[in-house]
Amino acid sequence: METIFQKYFRTGIVHFMAFPETVDGKTNIEQTIKKIACDEYFEVIEITWIEDPDTRKRVKNILESAKIEPVFGAQPVLLKNQLNLNDENTNKRKKSVATIKECIDQAYSIGAKGISFLSGTYQEQNKHRAFDHLVESTEEICYYAKEKNSMIVELEIFDYDIDKKSLIGPAKLAGNFARKIREKFDNFGLMIDLSHLPLLRESPAEAIVPIKDFITHIHIGNCFMSDKNSPLYGDQHVPFGTRGSENDVEQLAEFLQVLMDTGFFDKKQRPIVSFEVKPLKGQDPEIVIANSKRTLNQAWLLIE
């Protein structure tokens, strides 16, 4: 496409994936956030839990100075602590909700306007009960976020039987879930990630069209499925074009084309499209980020 993509969406990056050492909430956070803040390619940065309050204040100042918008990813917090928002155990479920509320408080303190998370585990035998539990948890989260300047709450769709094994999950179930939450809360949406589509065995059209009215946020990345014995197998967000991986320029272009055709980019406020890529062992994160930017630049040229 001849028109620059900045007219259609804001480009972001998942900070804690690009610089995986930061996921502990303590290591190398300010230095790596500064690298992204200094890169005019990005309008949005997705960060997660930062342990030290003083570090959070300095990060907020960096982002405000750079005019880059933060959003908060609570996925690592849930995964690290093995929390499950649709847990059969009521106390464990309450603990999971309480943790997300703490994340919302932190997100609000750094100026984030949105927070994302993932559902708990998928089990065929109790998926209906789990669905109801997740609805209850998410409604409580949406209500709490609504009080924080109507913060947007987004559930990221993951695979259900390969890696993260999350309830949400297949496009049809995701659509049913989003429809249920939207009955009460207009601050809820779905996040879809290109890297998860091969894991879900869904094409872009199969993944996007059934939930097009609920998608509010996009991640673009890659996954590896060609060798189950490889340490890269599954949802590792390998760089675009990694040998044996699933996504590169052509697949990203198809994904963006379906989003274009379904009207995702026609919103009054430009939506977020964020890279979620992770360096392989020994790779320089900044080179992997450059790989991602080139991939998007080339894919956009193929959009009609």
SS3 92: helix
Residue 49's domain comprises 5-300
The CATH number that applies at residue 42 is: 3.20.20.150
Mean pLDDT of 172-198: 97
What's the pLDDT score for residue 66?
A: 98
Residue 6 confidence (pLDDT) above 90: yes
Mean pLDDT of 115-135: 95
* pLDDT > 70 fraction of the chain, expressed in percent and rounded: 100
pLDDT level of residue 124 (50, 70, 90 thresholds): confident
Residue/partner pairs of 124-133 with CB below 8 Å, 24 or more apart: 126/88, 127/167, 127/173, 129/88, 130/86, 130/88, 130/167, 131/86, 131/167, 131/173, 131/176, 131/177, 133/85, 133/86, 133/87, 133/88, 133/93
**Contact between residue 274 and residue 218 where contact means Cβ atoms under 8 Å apart:** yes
Residue 242 token pair: 């990694």
DSSP assignments along 215-272, one per residue = EEEEEE---B-S-TTSTT-BS--PPTT-TTBS-SHHHHHHHHHHHHHTTGGG-SSPPE
Count of domains in the chain? 1
Tell me the pLDDT tens digit for each residue of 201-211.
999 999 999 99
Length of the chain: 304
**Contact between residue 114 and residue 150 where contact means Cβ atoms under 8 Å apart:** no
Sign of CA dihedral 51, 110, 42, 152: positive
Match 């009960």 to its residue by tokens: 129
Residue 270 confidence (pLDDT) above 90: yes
Tell me the pLDDT tens digit for each residue of 17-37.
999 999 999 999 999 999 999
Helix (H) or strand (E) holding 58: helix 53-66
- pTM reported for the whole predicted model: 0.96
- Measured distance CA(233)–CA(237) in Å, rounded: 10
